[in-house]
Chain A
Amino acid sequence: MNLFTAVNEGMRQAMKTDDTAITFGEDVAFGGVFRCSVGLREEFGADRVFNTPLCEQGIAGFGIGYAAMGGTAIAEIQFGDYIFPAFDQLVNEAAKFRYRSGGQWDCGGLTVRTPVGAVGHGGHYHSQSPEAYFTHTPGIKVVMPRGPIDAKGLLLASIRDPNPVVFMEPKVLYRAAVEDVPEGDYEVELGKGEIMRPGSDVTVVGWGGQLKVLEKACDLAASSGIECELIDLKTLSPWDVEIVASSVMKTGRLVVSHEAPVTGGFAGEIVSKIQEECFLSMEAPAKRVCGQDTPFPLVFEKFYVPDELKNFEAIKEVVGY
């Protein structure tokens, strides 16, 4: 099963088990431009699976209000690049809804799904990874799966989590990634990372679509005799400090990689936290391998992205420090 089908399965499961759950957004009724909601309208009816006007701030605000009344709102923002009109609703409203009411009200039933990341031809406005804008906001959770199995389990956990969640889907994997996704109902716990491959020389951390790149980089490293411990964070807010810190205590070295621009990116947070926790165990300065501080450049995408070779070089550098 590929990733868009896994997302579809996750939503189907959520809607089956919760009759307040609705799915909505631009072009959602016919199945969505990435086909994530295909078949849901036929199964659950037009009241529960519907198009909205083309307006991201409306989608977010509408979902907050629906959730505030106790419903489960699964909203789709068609591209992560277009989430910014909804930024105020998510950052000032969804994130603070519970806190500002003294715990009287919440919009925890809201999950905002949105595709992110590079696809090879997306240019400025179909390629961005805006996760760090949201990790900077207390009150919302930020989740990004690396493949179909996690996509379904993390999505179900996000929809059922009693807090608003921004769920980012690496769109490059919608069709490319195929895994043996379990049938039925299961959740992957939010806030927990996973060691994808154990190793003793260097800890390599990533999330979402970047893990495919990091797997290649770790393979290259292995062929040079370097054993990488590769960690998938899965949830960026709140993130699993423990799993990364214990790994770095062991390896003494850290590389963090993401597609978004390096300055102000979430790698900075991880590196900073880990040097606080693991300073005396570290054998080398931590290294970030990220997007350049440029807008996402269409024709030069392969130069912009933190590909396996840039990661391989960084891994060698920290190991040889």
Chain B
Amino acid sequence: MPLTTTLKVYDHDETPPGTWPVFRVMDEDGSLREPKVGQSYIDTHAPTLDKAHAIKMFRTMARLSQMDHIFLNAQRQGRISFYMSSQGEEAVHIGSSTALDLKDTIFAQYRETGVLMWRGFTMDQFADQCFSNKGDLGKGRQMPVHYGSRALNWHTISSPLTTQLPQAAGAAMAMKLKAKREGKDRSDGVAVCYFGDGAASEGDFHAAMNFAATLETPVIFFCRNNGFAISTPVKDQYRGDGIVSRAKGYGMYGIRVDGNDLFAVHAATAKAKEIALSENRPVLLETMSYRVGHHSTSDDSTRYRSTDEIKKWTEEDNPIDRFQRYCEGRGWLDDEMVAQIMDEERMKVLQALEKAEKKGPPDLSTLFDDIYKEKTPELVRQEEALLEHVAKYPEKYQGGGH
């Protein structure tokens, strides 16, 4: 795909001829592409980018990467039941989340852990959710990685793919109308909806694009094109020019971005947000990256792709390395600091894991809560019957969950 250093979000009536170009600022070696343009990008879009901010971003990616590594192993050891890693997509997460704030409401798929991490979800909260323990905000009700946080304006993840897309369009409508009621000409935030290239084949994708475009809602549809839906490569998923090219047909804005370039993702997200807010229109944003990890802990991706291919992406085009090299070039990071950060983050993850493992399951009394706002008479009856049964065979049900 052609690369461009021009940050342009195309409207539907001015789309590029041929293949949509990929917006990139920073090359694999961490150098700013066409330094003049690259530096002017930094000056324009990240004037506050200083050492502290850069290191915070790097540290978050490091934590995410350590967490993925350690939680994957914890699953293999049988300590947690399931896990999904973000390897290869760290720059997509940190690049986009740094362009958003807590007033933006997030609908995620499941592989956007770094976005939630940047918003402030703590290591304990991640670990508690994966262990379904009494600290889990979701009360142990969903499989690992289905995080949710009202405080961080992050809608709870659900397993069915793409259902979050039309919901994001509706949430954006709520924000738009609220602003109107308050006499404001733009809403406080946008809805941002993440999904994968496979999810874009579902009917809900079409529903969401068409609703958001016709009803004019401030939403960013953020497609993480990472090449795979479990084992299915994109060539079996679509025949057109990726996902972003569909923006034209829906009458939307669109932009394609190098997902391994943290700066490019950040700039594109910021620009998409500005357009969505100022025009009350949706933007389709497609990041191009590669899912380095397996789909989930239930998957072995070497059965459908070569280890050489994975190795190439890990070693030659690794989003964390790319940003690290940029920071090294600025004199903000060196090998010693990187090793130290990695070590510190590894320890934080390990500590959270050990703590979470000891907390134990939520109280059984929560089983019948939150189905409806109030328990129905039938639920009260079922709860009583269950507790009576459990009391009869305490040894069978000891220990609470699982």
Q: Which residue on chain A has the smallest CB distance to residue B148? A: A101
B180 touches A61 (CB 8 A): no
Residues of A within 8 A of B167 (CB): 61-62, 64-65, 68, 93
Interface residues of B, count at CB 8 A: 50
A52 part of interface (Cβ distance < 8 Å): yes
Residues of A within 8 A of B155 (CB): 68, 101, 105
A303 part of interface (Cβ distance < 8 Å): no
B214 touches A53 (CB 8 A): yes
Residues of A within 8 A of B378 (CB): 238, 241
B residues touching A (Cβ–Cβ < 8 Å)?
Answer: 105, 107, 136-139, 141-142, 146, 148-150, 155-156, 158, 160, 163, 165-175, 177-178, 180-181, 191, 203-204, 206-208, 210-211, 214-215, 369-373, 376-378
A50 touches B136 (CB 8 A): no
A317 part of interface (Cβ distance < 8 Å): no
Q: What's the least CB distance linking A166 to chain B, in Å?
A: 14
Residues of B within 8 A of A13 (CB): none
A275 part of interface (Cβ distance < 8 Å): no
B148 touches A53 (CB 8 A): no
Residues of B within 8 A of A88 (CB): 160, 163, 204
Q: How far is the CA of A181 from the CA of B395 in the complex (A)?
A: 58
Those 7 A-B pairs whose CB atoms lie nearest each other, nearest first: A61-B166, A65-B170, A58-B207, A65-B167, A69-B174, A62-B170, A101-B156
Q: Which residue on chain B has the smallest CB distance to residue A62? A: B170
17 more A-B contacts (CB under 8 A) besides A66-B171, A71-B177, A97-B156? A20-B178, A20-B181, A55-B206, A62-B166, A62-B167, A64-B166, A65-B171, A68-B174, A69-B178, A71-B174, A102-B136, A102-B370, A106-B373, A138-B371, A139-B371, A238-B377, A241-B377
A85 part of interface (Cβ distance < 8 Å): yes
Q: How far is the CA of A89 from the CA of B150 in the complex (A)?
A: 21
Residues of B within 8 A of A102 (CB): 136-139, 141, 148, 156, 370
A57 touches B170 (CB 8 A): no
Residues of A within 8 A of B169 (CB): 58, 61-62, 65
Q: Which residue on chain B has the smallest CB distance to residue A52? A: B211
A297 part of interface (Cβ distance < 8 Å): no
Residues of B within 8 A of A85 (CB): 203
Q: What's the least CB distance linking B214 to chain A, in Å?
A: 6
Q: Which residue on chain B has the smallest CB distance to residue A73? A: B170
Residues of A within 8 A of B177 (CB): 20, 22, 47-48, 71
A163 part of interface (Cβ distance < 8 Å): yes
Q: List 15 A-B contacts (CB under 8 A).
A: A47-B177, A52-B211, A58-B169, A60-B166, A61-B170, A61-B204, A62-B173, A65-B171, A69-B170, A85-B203, A89-B163, A101-B138, A104-B148, A163-B372, A163-B373
Central interface residue in A50, A63, A64, A92, by most chain B CB within 10 Å: A64
B181 touches A89 (CB 8 A): no
A100 touches B160 (CB 8 A): no
A100 touches B148 (CB 8 A): yes
Q: What's the least CB distance linking A192 to chain B, in Å?
A: 11
A162 part of interface (Cβ distance < 8 Å): yes
A39 part of interface (Cβ distance < 8 Å): no
B208 touches A100 (CB 8 A): no
Central interface residue in A53, A58, A242, by most chain B CB within 10 Å: A58
A58 touches which one: B146, B166, B172 (CB < 8 A)?
B166
Residues of B within 8 A of A98 (CB): 370-373
Residues of B within 8 A of A19 (CB): 181
Q: Which residue on chain B has the smallest CB distance to residue A107? A: B167
Q: What's the least CB distance linking A139 to chain B, in Å?
A: 5
Residues of A within 8 A of B142 (CB): 100
Q: How far is the CA of A163 from the CA of B375 in the complex (A)?
A: 11
A69 touches B171 (CB 8 A): yes
Q: How far is the CA of A85 from the CA of B207 in the complex (A)?
A: 11
Q: Which residue on chain B has the smallest CB distance to residue A242? A: B377
